[in-house]
Amino acid sequence: MHNTTPCHPHLPLTLSHVSYACAHVRLIDELDLTINSPGNSVILGHNGAGKSLLLKLLHGVITPSGGHIHWHQDRPQPQQYWRTLLLQKPSFFDRSVRYNVEFVLQLAKVPKAQRQQRCDEALQVCALSEMAERNASTLSGGEVQKLSLARAWVLKPAILLMDEPTVALDPPSVISFEKIIHQFVQAQTKIIMTTHDLAQAKRMADDIVFMHAGKILEHRPAQDFFAQPDSAHAQRFISGEL
């Protein structure tokens, strides 16, 4: 896939011969990939294709068994606050919604004088202002994911990685979540997310990375991918056979 000149400080993202093995089983196999566009990149594939592992490799949660990953010229390291990862099942303190958001700012060593304003803004963007003093343990599934987004928003991330963020949500919650993501995009945040939901991928993706059995089979503009995928596995996936 040919990309335009980068306009993002942490792109291109490049993977060169990246592999990952666990207990001598290779789960990610010799991935080569370049992402160099500011749009939404969606990693698509069936359950077990390696999508979640790839996101964790990109974030630095796990390290490759072989090969190299670079964000522009830097390898992913823990505690790089320009990059945020949202997991399927986030964990929170048994405290208020506001506390859970402000704690992230403390970790990132944001000056105390800025914390309240940034927290208030995040709660407003993520439609949580009226729930600020509620205990996070009382939130619904959709509200939990909004709190995850609020914790990301306060950090003003350049990159937002999301692993199947709406997999357990009802349709109204999914649409609400996607509207918030659109605000991240408007704030110039690069989105890289995994999903096996074709409808969501069609709504959100500018480019598709299609994975199967730990390999990347395609990386193409979303419109081209959905019009005519190149690989037989992608064709079967789109038709619902895989």
List the 190-195 sheet strands across, edge first.
83-86, 159-163, 190-195, 41-44, 207-212, 215-221
Tens digit of pLDDT for each residue in 14-56?
999 999 999 999 999 999 999 999 899 999 999 999 999 999 9
Residue 152 has pLDDT above 70, yes or no: yes
106: tokens are 């403390």
120: tokens are 């208030």
Residue 29 burial (10 A CB sphere; 0-12, 13-18, 19+): middle
CATH topology for 1-82+157-242 is Rossmann fold (3.40.50)
164: tokens are 């199947």
Residues 107-130: what's their mean pLDDT? 95
**Cβ proximity of 152 and 87 under 8 Å:** no
Q: What ranges do the domains of the chain cover?
A: 1-82+157-242, 89-156
Count Cβ atoms below 10 Å from residue 203 Cβ, excluding itself: 14
Tens digit of pLDDT for each residue in 190-215?
999 999 889 999 999 999 999 999 99
